[in-house]
Structure 1
Amino acid sequence: MPRRSILLFAGACVAIAAALATVTVIVVQGRERADAVSEGTLTGQPSVGGPFQLVNQDGQPVDQTMLDGKWSLVFFGFTYCPDYCPTTLTSLEATRQLLGSDAADLQIVFISVDPERDTPEALKTYLESDGFPPGVIGLTGTPEQIAEAAKVYRAYYQKVGEGEDYVMNHSLTVYLMGPDGQFRSALGHDLGPERSAQLIRRVKARG
Structure 2
Amino acid sequence: MTNTTTPLPGAIGGSFCLIDHDGRDVSDETYHGHYALMFFGFTHCRVVCPRALTKLSAVLDSLGPLAGRIRALYVTVDPERDTPDAMRAFLQPYPRFTGLTGSREQIDRIKAAFRVFAQRVDDAAGNADYTVPHTAITYVMDPEGRLVSHLIDALSAEEIATRLRRLLTSDEAGYLPS
Fold conserved (TM > 0.5)? yes
Shift of 1:135: 3.1
Whether the 8 Å contact between 2:13 and 2:147 is mirrored in structure 1 is: yes
**Distance in 1 (alpha carbons) for counterparts of 2:90 and 2:128:** 18
**CA shift digits 1:33-91 (9 cap, x unpaired):** xxxxxxxxxxxxx6111011110111111111122011111010000001011111110
Shift of 1:191: 0.4
The yes-or-no answer on 1:112 pairing with 2:69 is: no
Whether the 8 Å contact between 1:176 and 1:184 is mirrored in structure 2 is: yes
**Distance in 1 (alpha carbons) for counterparts of 2:96 and 2:140:** 17
Structure 1: segments with no counterpart, 5+ residues: 1-45
Q: Which amino acid aligns with 1:154?
A: R
Between 76-85 and 52-61, the greater mean CA deviation after superposition: 52-61
Whether the 8 Å contact between 2:57 and 2:96 is mirrored in structure 1 is: no
> Which residue does the alignment assign to 1:195?
159
Q: Which amino acid aligns with 2:95?
A: P
Shift of 1:164: 2.3
User: Percentage identity across aligned positions?
Assistant: 37
Whether the 8 Å contact between 1:98 and 1:193 is mirrored in structure 2 is: no
The yes-or-no answer on 1:179 pairing with 2:140 is: no
Per the normalisation by structure 1, the TM-score is: 0.74
**4+ residue runs of structure 1 moved beyond 3 angstroms?**
none
Whether the 8 Å contact between 1:184 and 1:203 is mirrored in structure 2 is: no
> Which residue does the alignment assign to 1:69?
33
The yes-or-no answer on 1:144 pairing with 2:108 is: no
Whether the 8 Å contact between 2:137 and 2:152 is mirrored in structure 1 is: yes
Structure 2: segments with no counterpart, 5+ residues: 1-9, 174-178
Shift of 1:203: 2.6
> In terms of Rg, which structure is larger?
1
Per the normalisation by structure 2, the TM-score is: 0.85
